[in-house]
Chains A and B, each alone.
Chain A
Amino acid sequence: MIQTGPLFLRVVAIEPLSPRLKRITLQSAEGGLLPLSQPGAHLTLTLPGPGRGHRNAYSIVSPCDRRDHYQLIIRRAPASRGGSRHVHEVMAVGDVLEAAAPNSQFSIQSQTRKHLMIAGGVGLTPMLSLTSALRARGAHIELHQIAHVDEVAVFEALLAGERNVHIHTGRAKLDLTNLLARQPLGTHLYCCGPQAMMEAARDAAVALGWPETSLHQESFGAAGGAPFILRLARSGLEIAVGEHDTMLEAIEAAGVAAPSLCRGGACGVCLTSVIEGAPEHRDHVLSEAERAEGRKVLPCVSRSTTPYLVLDL
């Protein structure tokens, strides 16, 4: 499958699950099959808002083999800048949204004898597609869900099809050390939830001697960052690099033909000199010394730590 361009999805159902949780069902706006999703995958939706809108990533909770629809569960975030507020207050059946094809940074680990999952609140969402895929393969699963007491019924309903599920009303009710200390060799831990919860689980596992390679957290990828202004010294252009753009995309959108090849920070073809400003390096090409010196940057993946960055382009 070669994905060219974004997906256009139509909202076909919006179900309130609780005062703060809604389940959205999306189908292809053009009719036909959707691209196959993957276990642990998320969908990055562009929701209407000022400027280019809000781009938010939500885990796909429907089984990944379903190509007729995707389902998401979205929590109303208390201090929402607009993304989840739009979903809860504005979105209507029939709306068409732009989305990037599903992507997973949180996948099933093979050669694993047991899959242990710890989810906090809506952090359950990436686990649902994992558990349905693992169940189909006959894998050994154990899932612990931390939920507010008033949402226990919702999570029980979402997990009704699973065996070996434990729901805890509040983080204090889950004895992490006890749980992690008794896991057999070859167990992998999958965690998703509030940052503090994920850190506590990770710290407890490391203290018990779990190797880093057995610990997995949903991070939705680390693309994007603070917006900044790019100045191209030779063409005299000034370009705004938005939080979801890469420098290379912004340069190309401005009509400048910058050399590039892999677009993933590995080949070095787009390497450019920095005249002013301090780059934020995300590539795999520059040495530690070159990074520290800050005179070179790979625009296909890297960004800027300063509000302005001037390149020799």
Chain B
Amino acid sequence: MPKREGGMSDHVIKSMPVYAPIRLDRSGRRHLLLADDVAALPTGLAADLSPDAFDERWLVVRQSQAIPSPDEHARDRPYRSDAHVLQALKWRLTSETMGLRLYAIGKEAFVWSVWNVALSFGLGGREVQLCASPAGPRRVYCNHCRTINEAATTNIVVCAGCRAPLYVRDHFSRRLNAYAGVQVDAEAPGEVPPIEVLYP
């Protein structure tokens, strides 16, 4: 694995989120599940946990004619996109009361978007569970020019903003919902290690 500044290999960095399949937190009173893809549910939920265990299931279906039921008791709600479901989540959290548990399954960028909405409503770590599934491309924040590079599948990406070849560190910011990228050849300009594909 390429080393930064002749520096330590990133496999010992402890600043990456670690995910486990979702388990129902029975200390909560109401359970709301969000997923950005129905195909993510089997790996995102613990083996013995059925989607029926949740009071409501909000699913992104990526169809423009999808529409959630107007019935307030509907348990399954389809949404057209990530943006559509996140907007609905903000409205729901405005009127929710203490005792809610929020769960999100999907691409990493999606689940942390859910997290940031929850945080803005005062929910803390005990009230939200995330599972990024499947393991996927990373959003990379260029530490030098602040550009966010979407969907990086390799360990080194060329920054779309300032053109620096960035080593993608195993250091994640929840606030920015991105991994840190720093110039890989800063000390020896031109010496870029071979690029490895991490997420085909």
Contacts and interface: CB of A to CB of B under 8 A. Distances in A.
Direct chain A–B contact by Cβ atoms under 8 Å: yes
Interface of A: 111-113, 180-187, 205-206, 208-214
A180 B27 CA distance: 15
A113 B97 contact: no
B29 interface: yes
Given A182-B97, A213-B124, 10 more contacts: A113-B121, A181-B97, A181-B99, A184-B96, A185-B100, A208-B29, A209-B29, A209-B100, A211-B127, A212-B126
A209 B123 CA distance: 12
Contacts of B127: 211
B197 interface: no
Interface in B70-121: 93, 95-101, 119, 121
B34 to A, nearest CB: 16
A182 B99 CA distance: 10
Interface centre among A112, A180, A210 (most CB of B within 10 A): A210
- Place the interface of chain B in its size category: 20 to 34
A214 B100 CA distance: 13
B122 interface: yes
Contact of A209 (B93, B95, B98): B98
Contact of B28 (A113, A184, A209, A213): A209
Contacts of A184: 95-98
B123 A185 contact: yes
A111 B99 contact: no
Contacts of B30: 209
B126 A185 contact: no
Contacts of A111: 119, 122
Nearest to B95: A184
B27 A214 contact: no
Given A208-B29, A209-B27, A209-B30, A214 B121 contact: no
27 contacts: A113-B122, A181-B99, A182-B97, A183-B97, A183-B98, A184-B95, A184-B96, A184-B97, A185-B100, A185-B123, A186-B121, A186-B123, A206-B27, A208-B29, A208-B98, A209-B28, A209-B29, A209-B30, A209-B98, A209-B100, A210-B98, A210-B99, A211-B27, A211-B124, A211-B127, A213-B126, A214-B98
A214 B97 CA distance: 13
A183 B29 CA distance: 13
A185 B121 contact: yes
